[in-house]
Amino acid sequence: MRTLVILTLLAVLVVAATSYESHESMESHEYLNPFLNRRRANDFIQADTRLRAITQERIRERSKAHQEHQRELCEDYYPCEMYAFRHGYAAAYKHYFGGRRRTK
């Protein structure tokens, strides 16, 4: 009989300890509605940083320096690139492209 009383008290203590809901868990109000709407869900989820980096790279590609455009044009033309190895890209661009754009 004594063991039965002790086991019953232990069972009551275990149930009370595991089923106790603290005040902190009630503050979140998730027990009422666990799902968020789309607008609130996007408030705390940050955009992918890789996507942001790719976007910044595309913006930088559109606004390249004048010398970089000249260098890329020279790199695409093999004789200009060989001349640039010896004399530099500015001299090679000036030699092969006359320092101005050609129009058709």
3-state secondary structure the chain: CHHHHHHHHHHHHHHHHHHCCCHHHHHCCCCCCCCCCHHHHHHHCCCCHHHHHHHHHHHHHHCCCHHHHHHHHHHHCHHHHHHHHHHCHHHHHHHHHCCCCCCC
* Distance between first and last Cα of the chain: 108
Residuewise pLDDT in 10s, the chain (104 residues): 889 899 999 998 888 777 766 656 555 555 666 676 766 666 666 666 677 777 887 777 677 788 888 888 888 899 999 999 999 988 999 999 885 555 54
Is the pTM above the cut of 0.85?
no
